[in-house]
A and B are shown apart, each in its own frame.
Chain A
Amino acid sequence: MPIHNQGYRRRGAVPAVSGFRAAPIARLAFKQIVMRRLLIVLLALSFAPMLLEAPLLYGYIRYPEVVATVLWPLPQLFGAGVIVQAFFAALVTVWAGTSLVADDFCTGALLVYLARPLTRLDYVAGKLGVLVVLNLVVTALPMLLMWVLAVGLAPQDLRARGLAFVPLAIGALSLLTSFGLALLALAAGAVTRNGTVGSALLVGMLVFFEAGARLAPSGARLPLQILSAARHVVSVEHALFGGPGDPPLIHWSAALLCLGLILGGAGTLLWRRLKAVEVV
């Protein structure tokens, strides 16, 4: 077959693009999420604990002697609050996160995305970014608002009550939780290629390891704790906020390492699935 020179042809094609291009895919992912109205309900629900926490906080500031007898010290209250919010972030992630990648697999949208000037890294970063931001809205934002309220009520107590570093701790723990949940959800969606099954897998794993870590006989408890992402988050929370009760079985540094390995495994799974998009 003759090969023709194409140089003379008029081209109406769009110019070449380069660089990191996660934003367009994030925009698409965001649209995909917000089009489902249940998100509004879940987001509203995630702010509900504030209705209980705000009066508690007020009581703590105004009547510290009385409240201190029944509640943890103030920084620990924020740590526990982040863990409560992490539960709502898990709900949002289970509902919206797994389908972000799974739907693209099962509808074939992934084929269309990756046939455009978009790397797999752009794709993952875009999806992950949206989910992390959404989770941060659920975990960090309410607790930061609570901190503002606490400081507003008693600005002079900022140092005395150990509140100065609380925003940093809230940010760090929220980021860790949000990123971890998002990555696990995307990996579950990619492995199952079905949003519902992916959600079931994610919930099953989180619940199984967490329940096992708490309820299993003492001999079997450590391996289950090592595999429980939730336990590791609690260990880190304990370290950051000086959490109440006995220190966790796994030291926070080991917990971070285990969490890194779990998330590394999830990331590898996600990546391998994305590199083998041919099986739809």
Chain B
Amino acid sequence: MTPALEFEGASRWYGPVIGINDVSLKVAPGVVGLLGPNGAGKSTFLRLAAGQIAPNRGRVLAFGTPTWGSSAILQRIGLSPETDGLWARQSGRDVVTSLLRLNGLEYEPARERATAALARVRLADVQDRRAGGYSKGMRQRLKLAQAIAHDPDLLLFDEPLNGLDPVNRRHVIELVKTLGREGKTVVVSSHVLHEVEAMTRRIVLINKGRVLAEGEVAEVRALLDAHPHTVAVRARDVRGLARELVALPHVRSVNFGTDGQWVTAQTAEPDAFYAAVQEHGDGCGVTEMYATDDDLESVFRYLVPR
């Protein structure tokens, strides 16, 4: 099976500065979060994927075809870049129509698709206003509209939630999820972790041009054995529970919560820990238990040194 997007040992540098370094990965359909701090190489990753720059080494393929130097494959790619301020003098609908004509559509079909795409990002009521008068959030949605208007299979969104108010943020998150469910491959770049977490559990984490981790957030977290897992347990007899937990060989520390109802333990073997709590928990009146650091924030904190 041909992956939607594939990096084969791809590197790109700008003089002495490395954009991305020896990246190899395959991206399957669905939503994938591209995460990393500023300057990590996210934009370089997206521009290589969109065929705008050539890798200095290795290859970048979309649907089995190198993205650089093959304009035909770009018909199946939609890019929403981070920069905005596009085409201020034209109406939103004219902007999308004009761009669709670059995809080879005649005027009328392009106009129809533009109208549909703008409705999908909730810009239908302002589609005939000059784009220069749009708010930042509207411009952001305009960029998304032009990216999805030609119904591409691979979508590359660079910081798509920038400038959006909470209502539109929720709507765009839902749109991204819907596109993923439709079978599109959606790569969403962001440095805001909870935004990505709201859209997908699949991530590619990059820093200093290298892929640090890829996969489900939970899978990635499970691989981080160097960092003990933190589990919070609520119980009626917190002292009795703490005694039991401290005795376990894989438990490294135990802390009490300030309200006297919670115990927080750090363990190197979470599965064994859960089994032990299940075994001893009834006597201590355990009512609730959850891992506090299997979220994206924790993965990011552990993998990306500050």
A positions within 8 Å CB-CB of B: 1-6, 9, 11-18, 21, 24-25, 27-28, 31-32, 35, 106-109, 111-119, 122, 275-280
B71, B75, B78: which has the most chain A beta carbons within 10 Å? Answer: B71
Cβ contacts B126-158/A at 8 Å (1 or 0 each):
000000000000000001001000111100100
Residues of chain B in range 102-127 having any CB-CB distance to chain A below 8 Å: 102-105
Contact between B26 and A1, CB atoms less than 8 A apart: yes
Contact of B75 among A2, A9, A17 (CB under 8 A): A17
Q: Which residues of A contact B202 (CB under 8 A)?
A: 1
Q: A109-B87, A112-B146 are contacts. A31–B98 as well, Cβ < 8 Å?
A: yes
Contact between B47 and A117, CB atoms less than 8 A apart: no
Contact between B102 and A117, CB atoms less than 8 A apart: yes
Contact between A6 and B153, CB atoms less than 8 A apart: yes
In the bound complex, CA of A37 to CA of B26 (Å)? 50
Residues of chain B in range 59-77 having any CB-CB distance to chain A below 8 Å: 71-72, 74-77
Q: Is the CB of B85 closer than 8 A to any CB of chain A? A: yes
In the bound complex, CA of A111 to CA of B43 (Å)? 11
Known contacts A116-B75, A116-B102; 8 additional CB pairs below 8 A are A3-B28, A6-B153, A14-B151, A25-B102, A111-B79, A115-B50, A115-B156, A277-B47
Closest 4 A-B residue pairs measured CB to CB?
A: A108-B83, A17-B104, A115-B79, A3-B1
Contact of A11 among B27, B146, B151 (CB under 8 A): B151
In the bound complex, CA of A28 to CA of B83 (Å)? 19
Q: Which residues of A contact B266 (CB under 8 A)?
A: none
Residues of chain B in range 38-71 having any CB-CB distance to chain A below 8 Å: 43-44, 47, 50-54, 71
Contact between A108 and B51, CB atoms less than 8 A apart: no
Q: Which residues of B contact A117 (CB under 8 A)?
A: 71-72, 74-75, 102-104
CB closest residue in chain A, given B150: A14
In the bound complex, CA of A3 to CA of B99 (Å)? 31
Cβ contacts B1-30/A at 8 Å (1 or 0 each):
111100000000010000100000011110
